[in-house]
Structure 1
């Protein structure tokens, strides 16, 4: 596949490569580079569009195809090695994780089995929901505040983040507001060190804080995330909170990135709350995502 392919073409090419190398350790970074993009972007887009990390899809496809061999008479070690496992124990754990039963049960009874169909990505253009987005170029800056490690939760409010914010004294919020001197302005919700596969439950760093210039003196008791200079896509969302924000986040992968010459680059994602109801049931937010030209 030539460089300059669309996101959808790249993901379908990756699916074909997975199918041709089910027993191998696939070089996703190499495949992405050959098509003019990055493994980071491919992993993030795959997870967003498929609803699972690419690593999980590979495991499900391996065990789906392997099931046909398990019901035969071939020795299990040979089957395990064929699909990239060094022992029948490791193969058995992966098999049970996908099918819910041991391979011995399937060999004896022929099932039950759960199959993972081969994915095929398609872009459906509806155009019913215009996206409010602007492209911003920023010099290097810092994000400062109070950080903690939390599990990634895709839908609904994250109770771990809520507990972290609730643990901060009222005066901490006022102090942060007084320190902020750069865009994105206001109190920010920052997600950093996110697993490129966006695996549900994987840990990330959450920082409740503000943006300051790279030269601003930072109090010693605050956590700091240094952010490289570069280009950002800023998506505005308004409505029920956090549903409207999460819908916008999902739409960046399903609608915006496949239709524009940009890709995600490593870096934190930042949510700025511009306005909100007193009970936070509704809000207007901006989602800042670090991007670069494809």
Structure 2
């Protein structure tokens, strides 16, 4: 996958003055658009659309420094009006395109290059599990994206679960991992900016179809799952391992992530304060 990502970067460079869609880039890379945007974000820290915008404006800044007319540069990078380009360029750089030509002021954003840096040389333990179709059932709500620390919205969801909901979840639970899980799905298009939201569900896996109105039911099709065990301080170890699955394991593996709910569970260690065993379940498929 690392080779494909670097080829994607070159593809973008060759088409900066054209309209670039996520679908066309994913088709070029030979992966799903969901997999591409997910892995790209976790490796680069930005969305693919953000990266393309940064590169377009960086090259536009260069063209302006070389004396090209603002109007020509605007049309070159896909803007139909000078005003639209001027506003967008100022929002990105903090100054007007005309100021670049008058004062030589400049802002640049270099081309990315991907390499894998394995932290501490630690191999990632995982197993591949085939699961038949099931339902995720539990309490759910829309929550803001947050990649570090405790998400207060999820904490509020957990605290809102009633005794009746809890009893029904435990009665329905009949599929591995047979634990109360935290599942995430239905994310905003721009969720990778950590500005959007997704649906978070606290519940169980079940094959039962008869679920009361107290709980949300989310059908999940039969799939392959990469399962990553985690032991350590909670939630730091879980969040760090989640990041490593995207930044280290996925690019080096033969798998791509698919657009199904992912989930994890955590069992706190009664003998070690703040210490827990967790598992991350990531829906994947073999890359073609």
TM superposition score normalised by structure 2: 0.90
Distance 1:123 1:38, change over 3 A: same
Any conservation in 2 of the 1:241–1:281 contact (CA below 8 Å)? Answer: yes
User: How far did residue 125 of structure 1 move?
Assistant: 4.9
Distance 1:93 1:148, change over 3 A: farther
* Deviations 1:12-51 (CA, angstroms, capped at 9, x unpaired): 1110011111121224433433443222211111111011
Is it true that 1:78 corresponds to 2:72 in the alignment?
A: yes
Is it true that 1:220 corresponds to 2:213 in the alignment?
A: yes
Any conservation in 1 of the 2:136–2:204 contact (CA below 8 Å)? Answer: yes
Number of aligned residue pairs: 286
User: How far did residue 127 of structure 1 move?
Assistant: 6.6
Any conservation in 2 of the 1:144–1:210 contact (CA below 8 Å)? Answer: yes
CA RMSD of aligned residues (A): 2.3
User: How far did residue 74 of structure 1 move?
Assistant: 3.9
Tell me which of 202, 213, 230 is aligned to 2:223: 230
* Deviations 1:61-118 (CA, angstroms, capped at 9, x unpaired): 111111123345544232111112222333233323322333344343322x432110
Any conservation in 2 of the 1:185–1:272 contact (CA below 8 Å)? Answer: no
Tell me the residue number matched to 1:14: 8
Q: Which runs of 5+ in 2 are unaligned?
A: none
Tell me the residue number matched to 1:139: 132
Q: Which runs of 5+ in 1 are unaligned?
A: 1-6
Moved more, 161-170 or 241-250: 161-170
Distance in 1 of aligned mates of 2:225 and 2:123: 19
- 3-state DSSP class of the match of 2:40? helix
Is it true that 1:165 corresponds to 2:153 in the alignment?
A: no
Distance 1:224 1:22, change over 3 A: same
Pairing of 1:182-201 with structure 2 (within 5 A): 182-195=175-188, 198-201=192-195
Distance 1:234 1:160, change over 3 A: same
User: How far did residue 258 of structure 1 move?
Assistant: 2.3
TM superposition score normalised by structure 1: 0.88
